[in-house]
Amino acid sequence: MTLPREVRLVEMSPRDGLQNEAGPLIATDIKTELINRLGDSGLGHIEAASFVSPRWVPQMGDAAEVMAGIRRRPDVRHAALTPNLKGFENALAAGVNEVAVFAAASESFSRHNINCSIADSLARFYPVMEAAREHDIPVRGYVSTVLGCPYEGDIDPQQVARVAGELADMGCHEISLGDTIGTGTPLKAKRMLAAVTQKVRVERLAAHFHDTYGQALANLFAVLEEGVSVIDASVAGLGGCPYAQGASGNVATEDVLYLLDGLGIRTGVNLDSLAATGDWISRQLERPNGSKTGQALGATRQGAADG
Ligand code: HMG
Ligand code: MG
């Protein structure tokens, strides 16, 4: 068994974590404080915002203000989603370090999420790629529904590979494979990865697993064994997807970090500091902390404080 020596964690909570939050709009200063705290705990790659239509995703409507309000630092890459050229131009003006385009392996999910077919979405990304190249902005590509679709059920790994391959060919430096509704299991994840790596080298792939069925850590271990070394996660397990009913958050960053620390895999992230941020944001949003590790460390801290 070979596991990577180092993993880059890509923090999703400010975007994937907050985009679906029900209730009133989350204040911009809570988002900026979250992003600053995440950077302070050693995370070097943070998806900070989303330049999508505010009519589709109201919680991301203050993306420009968020970017303007955060503390920029040379050791943190602040990224944002951009579904089209308009989103890219707004993201560029806001000073992001990286943008991401997002496609799906399922036609129905593509239509629900971005209102067009897979082919149309890919065609729409070419001008984004060109503009990004002109401005020297790296582009990440997402493929959603790689291990199952809320509308179509099982997804053919070859279809995932086709979409991932086209994103890589058009110039995305990294392809993040999204188990949008968390229905994957480890062997399924390995089979999907085996198909994708026929088109895209494993060094260019990231795992983006939601934890709806509690399988995300097992699935991550399975793909770590196959050489994946970039993992998307969200502190306190925040999040969901507005166009995938019942989808829960990304796997909790604290839980992933506890696993990686236990395996002796370097990340550069401090678990105590990260767990404190998970507690803090859960209190701000008045919701239970979705990280098991976060809960355990919180209980340990409380126990110590109680004497
Ligand atoms: P549309 O309605 O088909 O777009 O939406 P349109 O081009 O016809 O434009 C309609 C209106 O939206 C126009 O305004 C545009 O200017 C405006 P109007 O003239 O009516 O006033 N508009 C924009 N406004 C701001 N920023 C933009 C933008 N583009 C158009 N970028 C569109 C198409 C893609 C815009 C829409 O469907 C959309 O914004 N979808 C976003 C969906 C989304 O954010 N989903 C969640 C993120 S993906 C995800 O969570 C999965 C992931 O985590 C991986 C995984 O877990 O699988 C990444
Ligand atoms: Mg997601």
Domains of the chain: 8-306 (3.20.20.70)
CA-to-CA dists, residue 263 to 125, 209, 211, 217, 235, angstroms? 38, 19, 20, 13, 20
Residue nearest to atom 33 of ligand 1 (CA): 114
CA of 110 to the centre of ligand 2 (A): 13
Whether 9 and 257 have beta carbons less than 8 Å apart is answered as: yes
Residue nearest to atom 40 of ligand 1 (CA): 114
> Nearest ligand to the C-alpha of residue 80?
1
Closest CA to 92 of 57, 136, 54: 136
When pLDDT is cut at 50, 70 and 90, the band that residue 240 belongs to is: low
- What is the structure's pLDDT at 67? 98
pLDDT, one tens digit per residue, over 155-169 is: 999 999 999 999 999
Which residues, including other chains, have CB under 8 Å from residue 161's CB and lie 6 or more apart? 195, 196, 198, 199, 200
**Which residue ranges have their beta carbon within 6 Å of ligand 1?**
16, 19, 50-53, 56-57, 81, 83-84, 86-87, 102, 113-115, 142, 144, 178, 180, 208, 210, 241-243
Using a pLDDT cut of 90, give the percent of the chain over it: 91
In one-letter notation, the amino acid at residue 154 is D
Mark residue 140 as left, alpha or beta (left: phi above 0; alpha: psi -120 to 50; beta: remaining): beta
When pLDDT is cut at 50, 70 and 90, the band that residue 305 belongs to is: confident
- What is the structure's pLDDT at 125? 98
Active site residues: 241
Task: Locate 72 and state its tokens.
Answer: 């920029």
> Nearest ligand to the C-alpha of residue 241?
1
When pLDDT is cut at 50, 70 and 90, the band that residue 300 belongs to is: confident
Residue nearest to atom 51 of ligand 1 (CA): 144
Asked whether the predicted pLDDT for residue 173 surpasses 70, the reply is yes
- What is the structure's pLDDT at 46? 98
- What is the structure's pLDDT at 304? 79
Instruction: Indicate the average pLDDT of the chain.
Output: 95
